[in-house]
Homo-oligomer: A and B are copies of this chain.
Amino acid sequence: MKVSSKGEYALRALLVLGELHGKVVSIQEISDKTLVTVSYLEQILLKLKKLGYLESKRGTNGGYILKRETRDINIGEVIRVLEGPLSPMGCASITKYEPCQLEPSCQLKPLWSLVRDTIAYVLDQTTLEDLLENRIALNKGDDFLAFKRTN
């Protein structure tokens, strides 16, 4: 059930850019703060730009700048565009459903659907702003407190 490095790194980069919202930040600086190599970040940042999250400026003192408001950047969406559906199985995916022969009577699909829903519930309710302010979904609803970690 892993999330790939691309998704993780994209979020790291967005956090850096969100923290410096309004400023142009070079790939090098993002690299320093995220511990991701410059050449790998090139790929990821370019993709985020094409997806409309970032703007760029070339030349000396160039770099990337966050285009959207931090509260309008949805984490579930970022993960989906960078690494596909949140669902653990194609049969339970809403964004990219894949049929399965066993489906009519499958006893697993309800489970995968529930897992998908829980993951989507968490990630789709979380924004970049939430992460920046260390406000994760825990406080978003009382019925969610059941998940609170006891550490």
Contact = CB atoms under 8 A, between A and B. Distances in A.
A73 interface: no
Contacts of A3: 1, 88-89, 112
Identical copies of this chain, number = 2
A interface, size bucket: 35 or more
Query: What is the predominant secondary structure among interface residues of chain A facing chain B?
Result: helix
A117 B88 contact: no
A99 to B, nearest CB: 13
Nearest to A107: B131
Interface of A: 1-3, 8, 11-12, 15, 34-35, 75, 79, 83, 85-89, 101-102, 107-108, 110-115, 117-119, 121-123, 126, 131-132, 134, 136-138, 140-141, 143-147, 149
